[in-house]
Amino acid sequence: MILSIKDIRHNITHFVITTIGIGMLLMVVLGMGGIYRGIVEDATLLIDSVGADLWIVQKNTRGPFAEISRVPSNLVHRALAVPGVKFAREFVFHTIQREQNGKPLRISIMGLSWPTDKGEWIPLTSGRPLKQSHFEMIADKTLKLSIGERVKLGKETYTVVGITESMINSTGDGIGFFTIADAQSIQFDTPSEAVRLERAAREARGEKSEIGIKQPSLLENAIKPAAELPQIARPQISAVMITMMPGRNADKIAKIISGWDDVSVYTKLGQRELMLKGNVEKVRKQIGLFRVLLTIIAAVIMALIIYTMTLDKIHSIAILKLIGAPNTVILGLILQQSLILGAMGFMIAYAVGQKIFPNFPRRVILKDTDLYQLAMIVLAISICASLMGIWKALKVSPNEALS
């Protein structure tokens, strides 16, 4: 006869409600770990999936993810000239917030180096990679856009041709892939009036300058579109990504590039470190501390529950002692209930978590190791929680059965 189960059956409603409560609490503990995992994964997802071996960024910045980086687009050609470099691609990346159908739409825009990169490397759940140099985009599922849907960004309208899954930036915004040119025209979109004013301003500046007075024909050029003027710099890109030839040492190539005075260079690992040490570190600590707090709270609550369950049984425990039950029986009764409570709570936490976490706005990743870890934590909590009850039970005198 298993006394712990008999007692639970006798108080089944009470026990079920308690277990659900504990389960929910443990679910939050589990979720906290999952959120942390999610943040780490999200932070490094793009770095991993883009698959560049080296990143060249603006001198002394930790870009392009941790902070803004600006490099000229011709840096691509310089990078290509370094021995051991197989590809060099432009990297354009920025986040915008617009409206679509009256709802806010946050897109993390990433440029693809058309025509070398049409996005074939991007894992699509449906649709296709880009097929033309303009006005097509690949959207992540989280953007809630569907294939064929048209999105107006700046002066142009872009058609969704492919859908990805889990392509998000470190703050959880879905990524939209465009050609570099499109990405830049979205980024540097200027209203016609602003363009007209800028051209007029250029002319005015020219009229005042000595060279403008000496060479009036220059002024005619100054009012032309910026793109037609060789003197005016092309829009800058965020970084240059390098793919090495197979078998090359990334550190060696990085050493060469780090000799250039206008840029800094990071390996893929370095970029990951920057993300994890910089952006994610505080969040990680925050969540970690919350998790510790919640674990302690769960332990305290479980201890109180087990303790009150024991108090409810004091008379029965005294009777058991009176009829000669050894301490192991009484200890077992309480410890078993604590373990059953913990185990059921854990199962509820897992089952409910699996159902509701996918609906959270940011990813909650449950790894097997985290589940084992939580199982161990729950085991430890259950044992600790039962200690107070056991202590109380062992102090009960068989005399109390008579009162």
Partner 1 sequence: MSNDSKTDYAIETTNITKIYGSDNTEVVAMRDACMQVKKGEVVALLGPSGSGKSTFLTAVGLINPPTSGQVIIGGKLALDGPVAKTNLRSFRRKHIGFVFQKSNLIPFLSAVENIQVAMELSGESSREARRRSLELMDYLGVADRADNLPMALSGGQQQRIAVARALANHPSVILADEPTAALDGVSGRQVMELFSKVAHEQDAGVIVVTHDHRALDVFDTIYEMEDGLMHRKSDHELSTN
Q: Where does this chain bind partner 1 (CB under 8 A)?
A: 1, 3, 6-7, 9-11, 313, 315-316, 319-326, 329, 397-399, 401-402
**Measured from the CB of residue 330, what is the shortest distance to partner 1 in angstroms?**
10
Q: Which is nearer to partner 1, 9 or 214 (CB)?
A: 9
**Alpha helices (H) along 188-249:** 192-208, 210-214, 216-222
- Provide the minimum distance between the beta carbon of 277 and partner 1 in the complex, in angstroms, as a whole number: 56
The Cα 145–Cα 395 span in angstroms is: 66
Residue whose CB is less far from partner 1, 115 or 326: 326
* Least Cβ distance, residue 341 to partner 1 (angstroms): 16
Between 102 and 324, CB nearer to partner 1: 324
Q: How far is the CB of 328 from partner 1 (least distance, A)?
A: 11
When the beta carbons of 297 and 402 are compared against partner 1, the nearer one is: 402
Beta carbons within 8 Å of 98's beta carbon, 6+ residues apart: 104, 105, 107, 153
CA distance 45 to 93: 14
The strand pair at 263-267 and 54-58 is best described as antiparallel
Shorter beta-carbon distance to partner 1: residue 10 or 395: 10
Cβ neighbourhood burial of 125 (10 Å; 0-12, 13-18, 19+): exposed
Give min distance, CB of 335 to partner 1, in A: 17
Query: What ranges in 72-135 are assigned the alpha helix state H?
Result: 75-80
DSSP state of 261: T
Nearest distance from residue 282's CB to partner 1, in Å? 50
SS3 content of the chain, % helix, strand, coil (to 5): 55, 20, 25
Closer residue to partner 1 (CB): 223 or 322: 322
